[in-house]
Structure 1
Amino acid sequence: MIESAERPFGELPAALVDEVLKRTEDISQKLLDDFEQVRARRQEWRASLEQAGLLHRDAELPYMPIPTTCGVDGSYAVERLLASDLVAAAAVAVEGLTPPSETRYWPEPRHLVWIETEAHEAETGTILRALMIGMELELAAQAPHEVVFLDGSLTTPLIYFNQALNKSRDALHLHTTARFLDRATSILEAYLTILASTRSDRCWLAIPKYTTRREIGQKMGWSDTYDDRGLLSFLLKPGEYTSPRPLQQPTEPWHLNLEPLESTSRETASRTADKIISSLGEIQVVYYRPYPWLPALRLEMSRAVAENQARLATVLHGVRHQCGAPAVMEPYPLYMADRMVKHLPKAIPTFRQVTSQHIAETYQGSISEVFLGLHGYRTESGG
């Protein structure tokens, strides 16, 4: 591992490395041109934001006490074995830096996990990913904190749920599919709780690391070359944020295929799904840059939060309080949850070795058969 890190080109043909290095000169020049264009037009674009009434400072908002926070993230892995698949998914909630006056007790466990052996199936990853996101939503909905950070966009769960439901008919033999369908109604209710954010003492905030959406750019008529987060990272000064803007909607209406669910739960799930789709149409987006060492953070939140000055102030104060370390490029509890849960795929081979040992202790045949059957070819993972 150390050797590969010190010699990144060690296994590549010398001619290939030479060609890549030559091409990086052209790429460097193109990136330089982009930076120069942004620098040259920065004041013009900032002025247009101010004229449009989209630029604000966090100091303008009412002062709110430091809120309690937590971050939720998840990860999954599918270990492809010779005889079967070993699958695992986990969601972890991590408490943020707590205010000095906080005495609330947060009972454990603060995680949810699923691990199972499955028959070989191409769609296992699709179903497992949806189950993982469902566990994230359930943890987030139950967290007793004033501000709860979620990794990714608020639209991501609906997309992945729909993919999993569409594929579930072809994967009904999987334990993971049965688990996902059994928990679907509860998961959708947790999703709706987060999207609606009707409780005045709870705010759920999605912070995607990567996005191509352009709510601000479309309104301002900026070039499609720039996505909002990339450009606003250069335009916003520390402590500035943009006015809440409606989430950019897809070209096709949101849809959730509930046909695979049992008829007894389908009607309830359908009502919840309708409310979810309605709530997605009212999600608001704010870009906020709390410190000079941070890029602009994309914050997706309920309209009930964005249009209430006190709740918006609480959200921004929570983000600022959890982003105090220059080495961490996102709120602290989200960063810690990501670091913790991303170790799951790396740990799967170890789980497999422990399983092999347990089987070998009682297997009546040749031990070599056990190790051959549990030989891992590759691990597919995501989060």
Structure 2
Amino acid sequence: MKETEEEIDLTAITRNAIQPTLLSINRARREISRQLQTRVCADPATHDHGHSYIVWDATEWSKKRLVTSQITPPTNPGEYTGATHNAHEIHKAKLLAWKRYKLAQAATLKMIMHAFKDYHFLELQDNNGDVVGYTAIELFQHLMDQYVRPEDVADQVTALHKVLEQQYDPTEEPQVYYKLVQDARNTLESLNESIDEATLIRHGLNQFKEHIDLKLDIKEWKKQDTVNKTWKKFKSHFTKAINDNKNDTGTLKALGMANAVKEEIDKNKENMKVFAQASMEANQKINLLEQHCAALMAERQPPPPPQQQTMDAKSQQIQVLTDRLNQLELNKGGGGGGGYRALGSNAFPKNGKDGTRTCRRWSNDEYCWTCGFDIKHNSMTCKYIKDAAAHKKEATAANPMGGSTRNLHLRSNL
């Protein structure tokens, strides 16, 4: 029997024009696997999966439906050397299985090269630029090693978990929603992220409860026994419910009214959000204006008076000397050998030992009973009284009252 090469439908294989990613590699593997499922495989252990085992490693292959064992690819049986009809038939069967396997391998390589660029396999090319002698699993592993980083896997896992929360669109068939979440689940499992059916059902219920027409169907589903709550029955239950609602005019009318109310509520919610946002922006502008006003008021206020600096040691010393001179100024009218008069100066010649002097100091005619003539004070204001009982405050230059006659000779110089 002559085996003819089956046609490859490359239109079902997504062509990647950019650098391979974890998502594009897994997508290509699944698309090629579907093509290989249609190719007959002689090994009954493949069941309905055909030659798709070519692209899956042992772990992923064991997850396939009805698969219980690994598949050993057939080998070339060589030339027939038997002598019986039965041996000849066995040889022909082995040869046919091997040829089918080689055709599937060639088709797989062609689809991989269609999905990706030839330079993505540059490290595997021989001197003629051909990629020869590598299995499909090795080619996919090469892409993973060259272009996928550990952090890419983490990002892809996060993105796929978001796909599981994909919103259900009532304008589309429910199978569209089911396929999206199932593909996400399959990809997660290929990344060693196990997603059980209960998780898929939970995400599905979260989506369907947003639709009023499915409210009663959700209640009916929750009443079912746990053993019946499988993903397969979940899809069947809600697919039937959605189709029934589409064919029920009463339900459609009620749904239209409910959707109108929901749309109005959503509109009001949106208006509230806009109002809240506008209020927040207005408050921010008010705060900025208040801050600006406060800054302007601060600029217009007169600067505070400079603080009086504490006098340093020299200033204090000068102040002490100034006070001392002022005190001496007050005392310079007194008699005796001490005080400012005893020091003498150009304006005030030095006193004699008895307090007499040769030239007049003051142009007045003051007299003091204790101090005598040519003084600045008088008997009433004297601060140098030695004998208070004898001192006569009424004494004047015209009537000394027996007081001191010191510097009397200078009175004639007036």
Please state which band the TM-score falls in when normalised by the shorter chain: under 0.3
TM-score normalized by structure 2?
Answer: 0.21
TM-score normalized by structure 1?
Answer: 0.22
When Rg is computed on C-alpha atoms for both structures, the one with the higher figure is 2
Larger helix percent: 2
